[in-house]
Structure 1
Amino acid sequence: MGFFVPFSPDFPLSQKAGGLAEYVAVSEDETVALPAGIPAADAAGLPLAGLTALQAVRSIGTKFDGTGTGANILITAASGGVGTYAVQLAKLGNHHVTATCGTRNLELVRSLGADEVLDYTTPEGAALKNQRGKKYDYIINITYDGKWSMFKPALSSHGRVVDVASCCENYVASVMTLFARKKIATMVMTMKKEELSFLVELMKGGKLKTVIDSRHPLDKAADAWEKSMGGHATGKVIVEM
C-alpha cells in the first residue's frame, strides 16, 4: 500500500509552476493511503483536479447520498483535468448536466455522463444554448475564457456561477453581484483529507475515473508542463517516476 500527494502538473494555477521529485516530505493530514487495485497514475490525478471539482460541485449544494433533487447545471471546459471529474461528480449528485468542450472530445464527455454536450467552436455552443432552451441554475466555470458577461444571460432568475478559473474580470463581478439575484463567486481549492478519502472511495467503487491525456517519464517533465500549459489536454497529464 502506498500514499499519494498532489504532484500532477496539468492544472494551470498561475504563471508560477510547482515541482516534481521522487520523494517529498508532506504532512500526514494531506495524504491518503492508496488502496490496492487503483493504479498510481489514476490516483495522481485526484488531489488537485479531483478536489477542485468536488469542492465546486459541493458548493452548489450537491448531495451524494441520494437525497438531492438535482439542478440544471452547465460545466465549461468539461474535457480538461478538473472538468472530467466535475461531470462525473455532478451526475453522481443527480444533476442534469450540460457540458462544453471542443469537437474532438464530444463523445468522451458524453461517456462521462453529461446529458448534453456543447461544442464551444459552434455558434450555439459559444452562446451556451442547450437543446431544451432552459436557463441554468448553476454554472461551474473552469475555462479562463469564461466571463460573467457571457454567463449572466444563460442563468435562471436566481442562478449562480462558481468560477474556478478566477480571472480578474470575474473576481470584480463577484464583488459587484454580492447582493444581486444572479451571482458569481470565485473558488479556491483547499486540501482536505476527508474529501480526498471520499474521492478515493468513489474510485475504488468504480464510480469515478481519471481520464489520462498522456504519460511522461520524469526526465521528460518539461514536455508534460508544455502539454499542460497549452490548455488543450484531454483529462490529466501525468509524470511517472
Structure 2
Amino acid sequence: MAAKLMKAVQYFGYGGGAAALKIGGALAEYVVAKENLTVARPPEILEIDGAGLPLAALTAHVALTHANIHLDRSSERKNILITAASGGVGHYAVQLAKLGNTHVTATCGARNLDLVKDLGADEVLDYKTLEGASLKSPSWKKYDSVVHCATGIPWATFKPNLSETGKVIDLTPGPFTFMTFAMQKLMLSKQQLVPVILSPKTENFEYVVNLAKERKLKTIVDSTYSLSEVSDAWTRIISGHATGKIIIEV
C-alpha cells in the first residue's frame, strides 16, 4: 500500500487502490475529499498513528469480513494464515484477527518474528525458510482462511494447507487470481482463491478508528518522511522491507 498522508486536523479520510481509480489520489499538503470518505479523528489518536489507518487497516478489516471472522468472537474458532504479516496491511490483520475467535499463523522476515508474535500471532514462520515457504502450520493445522498480503505465492502452495472449504483472500489480485476464481466457481470447488477489490464503507472506517481509540489496534510506523522526501519514501516502499507503515508528514 502507498504511504498515507494525514493533515493535523480534525478529520482524516481514505482514498487509494481501487478507490483512487474512481476519485483520484496524490500526495499533497491539501486535498478535497467527499464527506462520506472521512471520519472525525478522536483526540486519543495521534496524527502519526492515525495516518496509517486508511487504507491499510480498512483493507485488513474488509479481508477478515470476507473470511467470515467475527471480531466480537461470536463465530466458531477458525485457523487463519496471514502472509506478509509485518507489512502495512498484515500487521493490522494480525491484531484484528486476534479480536476474533482465531488461531493465527503468520509469515514475515526473520527480523520481525518477535514483533509479529507480540502483535498476537500464535505461530510465526520465516518466509525465507523451507518451512515458511511451504506455509505449513507448525502445529499442522489446516487453514480455514488465508489473508494473503504478499505476492508471488502460487495457488498450488496454498491448496494442500487449506481446510476442505478453505479460502485464500487475495488482497493483491492479478489476472490469474480472477481466472482461477472463475474456474473454481464453474467447477463448484469448495476451496477458493478470492480476489478482493477494496470498496470500504464509512462504517468500516469508523469501526477501525474506534478500535484504535480504545487501544485495541495500534499502528507500527516503519519511518517518516517529509513531503519533499516522497521519492525516498517510495524507494523504501518498493524495497518491500518496510515494517508497518511509512508516513509522509506535512
Fold shared by both chains (TM-score > 0.5) = yes
Aligned to 1:4: 12
Does residue 217 of structure 1 match 2:226? yes
Q: Return the match for 1:40 from 39, 43, 47.
A: 47
Q: Deviations over 1:10-69 (max 9, x none)?
A: x8999xx94211111110000000110211111111111111100001111111223122
CA distance in 2 between partners of 1:87 and 1:13 (Å): 24
Give the letter for the 1:206 counterpart: R
Give the TM-score, by structure 1 length.
Answer: 0.93
Aligned to 2:104: 97
CA distance in 2 between partners of 1:81 and 1:223 (Å): 17
Q: Return the match for 1:195 from 204, 226, 239.
A: 204
Q: Deviations over 1:77-109 (max 9, x none)?
A: 101000000000000012100000011110110
Give the TM-score, by structure 2 length.
Answer: 0.90
Count of residue correspondences? 237
Q: Return the match for 1:152 from 135, 152, 159.
A: 159
Q: Which runs of 5+ in 2 are unaligned?
A: 1-8
CA distance in 2 between partners of 1:66 and 1:103 (Å): 30
Q: Which runs of 5+ in 1 are unaligned?
A: none
Aligned to 2:245: 236
Q: Deviations over 1:99-139 (max 9, x none)?
A: 00011110110010000001011101101111211211111
Out of 86-95 and 172-181, give the one that drifted further: 172-181
Q: Is the 8 A contact 1:147 1:169 kept in 2?
A: no
Give the letter for the 1:36 counterpart: P
CA distance in 1 between partners of 2:52 and 2:123 (Å): 25
Q: Secondary structure at the match of 2:98?
A: helix
State the identity %: 47
What pairs with 1:1-241 in structure 2 (closer than 5 Å)? 2-6=10-14, 18-178=25-185, 179-241=188-250
CA distance in 1 between partners of 2:158 and 2:73 (Å): 29
Q: Is the 8 A contact 1:118 1:125 kept in 2?
A: yes
| RMSD of aligned Cα (Å) | 1.9
Q: Displacement, 1:207?
A: 0.2
Q: Secondary structure at the match of 1:177?
A: helix
